[in-house]
Amino acid sequence: MNSAILDAATLQPIQIPDRAMWLQLLLLSPLLYIAWNIISLWRNIAKCRSMGVPVVWIPIDHRNFFWMLVQGYVWDFIDSYHRPWSSIPTYIRFTRPGWQFYDKGDTHVKLGPVWALVTPANTFINVSDPKAIEAMVNHRKDSVSQVEQPKQLEIN
Confidence of residue 32 (pLDDT cuts 50, 70, 90): very high
What is the 3-state secondary structure of 104-134? CCHHHHHHCCEEEEECCCCEEEEECCHHHHH
Per-residue model confidence as pLDDT tens digits over 10-19: 777 777 667 7
Predicted TM-score (pTM) of this structure: 0.70
Per-residue model confidence as pLDDT tens digits over 48-74: 999 999 999 999 888 888 899 999 999
The length of the chain is 156
Per-residue model confidence as pLDDT tens digits over 72-117: 999 899 889 888 877 888 888 888 888 888 888 888 889 999 999 9
Q: Residue 3: pLDDT above 60? A: no
